[in-house]
């Protein structure tokens, strides 16, 4: 029986590539390249930080909040693409990142989950301030029971300690959590942790060849409702 549905934020609820439109207006013909490299470098930095100091009880000594990593990743991206970086452009892009566009089906899915009485949360690498901004601007604040940030432990996903945060907020077993992410690496990490998982494969990518496949796969968030129906029907029979 699934008792809580927990979502990744960036890429799953919020479209990290929607920043490309503003990037294109600031740097014509480079918008897509900026949004892609920016995201890749951002995730690379989270892994570098966690892997370089994975066992400290106080978290990685190299930890920086996700907002700072996002800004540093942007600076790297512009330099890598040999584009002029100005304070005005950087602030504009970071301001847009704070209020990323939500995928269109999200509110309807979250509303349906709340109508069913399902506990809901975000588990994200984002720090609390940037998550609060994104959740509020998307109108999701009243549809989530918790917004959980790895900032409290200073270890990014896919560190096991990051996924363990969920059961600190909900009195559930790992397999009673449906964890939903559009990032295949995140879905795999959550699967290894013992969650029931759903990968939102928006881009039609192949499954990772490392490790088990996620429990379920869908093209967008609406599949969550169908998955819940199947799982909870099975649990009641």
Q: What angle do CA 131, 43, 228 make, to 5 degrees?
A: 60
Q: How far apart are CA 83 and CA 76, in angstroms?
A: 10
186 included as an active-site residue: no
SS3 assignment, position 124: strand
What single string gives the DSSP state of each residue in 98-112?
A: TTPPBPTTHHHHHHH
Evaluate whether 74 touches 92 at the Cβ level (below 8 Å). no
Please identify which of the residues 8, 15, 151, 186 carries the catalytic annotation.
8
Give Cβ neighbours of residue 214 (< 8 Å, ≥ 6 apart). 187, 188, 190, 191, 197, 198, 199, 207
Evaluate whether 188 touches 210 at the Cβ level (below 8 Å). yes
What is the set of active-site residues?
A: 8
């Amino acid at each position: 029986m699934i008792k809580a549905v927990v979502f990744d934020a960036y890429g799953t609820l919020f479209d990290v590539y929607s920043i490309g439109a503003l990037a294109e207006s600031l740097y014509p013909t480079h918008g897509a390249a900026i949004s892609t490299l920016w995201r890749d470098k951002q995730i690379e930095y989270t892994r570098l930080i966690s892997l370089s100091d994975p066992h400290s009880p106080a978290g990685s000594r190299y930890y920086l909040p996700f907002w700072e990593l996002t800004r540093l990743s942007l600076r790297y991206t512009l330099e890598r693409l040999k584009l002029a970086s100005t304070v005005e452009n950087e602030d504009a892009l970071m301001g847009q990142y704070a209020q990323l566009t939500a995928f269109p089906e999200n509110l309807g899915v979250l509303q349906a989950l709340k109508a069913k009485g399902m506990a809901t949360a975000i588990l994200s690498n984002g720090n609390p301030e940037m998550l609060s901004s994104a959740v509020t601007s998307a109108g999701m604040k009243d549809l989530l029971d918790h917004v959980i940030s790895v900032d409290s432990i200073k270890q990014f996903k896919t560190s096991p300690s990051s996924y363990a945060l969920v059961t600190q907020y909900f009195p559930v077993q790992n397999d009673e959590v449906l964890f939903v992410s559009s990032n295949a690496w995140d879905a795999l990490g959550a699967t290894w942790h013992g969650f029931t998982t759903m990968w939102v494969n928006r881009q039609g990518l192949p499954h990772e060849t490392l490790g088990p496949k996620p429990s379920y796969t869908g093209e967008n968030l609406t599949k969550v409702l169908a998955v819940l129906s199947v799982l909870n029907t099975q649990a009641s029979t």
